[in-house]
Structure 1
Amino acid sequence: MLGITPQTINTWISRNTFNAELIYAKCEGVSANWLLTGCGSMINEQEREVNASLQVQEKFPLKTDNLVDLQRIPLYNLEATAGLVSLFNDVDAIPISYISLPDLPACDGAVYVRGDSMYPLLKSGDIVLYKQVHDMQYGIFWGEMYLISANVDGDEFVTIKYIHKSERENCVKLVSHNQHHEPKDIPISMIRALALVKASVRYNTIR
């Protein structure tokens, strides 16, 4: 019914998550609360109408996450802040808007997705909500999705990738969800800023 492969199911199981957008699209009227918690009514017509205009695409929970009932998460324009490093270093950075979603892990901010390295899991124009990583040596959860800023020939390269262990010493392997992008090993010293992607949001209609 969902039109997905066994490999996709295995990925959901291994990451303890699922593509909520796909479930909502295929199972019209299913309550998000029932889907995520098993509580309440399975069918919720009012919620289906709300989700038609704005959906929480997917959450990426860790077992160590502490959920917050409702946060006011700042949404930033990376181009206006001159990159991820500048954004993280500027305590007075001005957000362009705020996002409030229930029962999310603690997040520091949100930015728009650019590029197709994580397609179709993430599309250009989606919003990712992140938690900054301060300890790059010991603070990485292998296999999780990260917002990364790397120094490449003196320029800042910002991308979203899975981070895997590398066979090369003092390096990490950056892996895309898009199979057209080859994995790449880079020295940890090239990473200038790092944030764990906690959730994503996708607009399905213009208005």
Structure 2
Amino acid sequence: MKTFYSKQDVLNRLKEAYNIQKDTDLAGLLGISKSTLSNWVSRDSLDYDKVFSKCEHINIDWLLTGRGSMLKSEGVPLMGDKEGGKEEVLPEINYEYKGAPYYNVDFIGGFDLVLNDQTRNPDYYINFAPYNKEGVIWCNITGHSMEPELNNGDFIVMKEMHSPIQYLPAGEIYGIITEDYRTVKRIRMADQKGFVRLIPTNKSPEYAEQEIPVEMIRKVYAVLGSMHRLF
């Protein structure tokens, strides 16, 4: 799965900001166990609330991308700061058709029925340069079956795929729409001809793999990335 930025690099920059060398010390700074930190790294999934809570004087742009100065006090424009003439890196919302549209539509990290179908008009636009492309949209993900890769309440950014599903890269994360539900899962072709297997990330027994016939699928979106709600 493609993400906005390397999560390992984010942790390395946090170490740099605090002059920390050991993962044990970083875990202590964040108030978590070393095993939890190891899980973050191995699964490429961070708790950004905890990370950002230690960034009062750190330039978030630098933390996420490595660009600009480390500290806010060094005059680097922050999100929403137009001074300095530098391009903003962090996403921002607007109602002026700048960026990719955000639809208040839930893709379920599970197989629940979805009743909201607010797909005609976007609530607003999210201006974030890497994803300001034709055919890209933002939606929500609810549920826990794709954790820790995708968390309940995250924004997900997706692009509709038009190739037949059997020719899409196997093992990637996709948004699937049928007549009855919208879900996000990893996909691979099933052994049974004409079926695909939907695979959750969460290994809890309540989130089982499921096979569905290809003919049930109305639309497929490649999930390009996700983020916590930063605004």
CA contact (8 A) 2:100 2:136 kept: yes
1:172 equivalenced with 2:200 (yes/no): no
Q: How does 1:69-108 map to 2 (within 5 A)?
A: 72-78=99-105, 79-81=116-118, 87=119, 93-104=120-131, 106=133, 108=136
Partner of 2:41: 9
Q: For each residue in 1:54-106, what CA deviation from the matched residue of structure 2 results, as whole angstroms up to 9, or x when unmatched?
A: x87xxxxxxxxxxxxxx61111133243xxxxx4xxxxx22111111133373
CA contact (8 A) 1:75 1:96 kept: yes
Q: For each residue in 1:124-167, what CA deviation from the matched residue of structure 2 results, as whole angstroms up to 9, or x when unmatched?
A: 332211100111335522222111113xxxx4111111113433
- 2:125 is paired with a residue whose SS is strand
Partner of 2:219: 193
Match 2:173 to one of 128, 145, 148:
145
In structure 1, the gaps of 5 or more residues are 13-17, 57-70, 82-86, 88-92
CA distance in 1, matches of 2:199, 2:216: 16
1:156 equivalenced with 2:180 (yes/no): yes
Q: What TM-score do the two structures reach when normalised by structure 2?
A: 0.57
Alpha carbons of structure 1 residues 7 and 169: separation in structure 2 relative to 1, 3 Å: farther
Deviation, 1:47, is: 4.5
CA distance in 2, matches of 1:31, 1:200: 21
Alpha carbons of structure 1 residues 104 and 21: separation in structure 2 relative to 1, 3 Å: farther
Alpha carbons of structure 1 residues 20 and 103: separation in structure 2 relative to 1, 3 Å: farther
CA distance in 2, matches of 1:204, 1:198: 18
CA contact (8 A) 2:136 2:158 kept: yes
CA contact (8 A) 1:119 1:178 kept: yes
Match 2:52 to one of 15, 19, 25:
25
Match 2:147 to one of 108, 119, 128:
119
Partner of 2:15: none
CA contact (8 A) 2:166 2:189 kept: no
Match 1:132 to one of 148, 160, 163:
160
CA distance in 1, matches of 2:152, 2:218: 23
Please tell me whether Structure 1 or Structure 2 has the larger radius of gyration of its CA atoms: 2
Q: Give the structure with the higher percent strand.
A: 1
Deviation, 1:49, is: 11
Alpha carbons of structure 1 residues 48 and 131: separation in structure 2 relative to 1, 3 Å: closer
Q: What TM-score do the two structures reach when normalised by structure 1?
A: 0.63
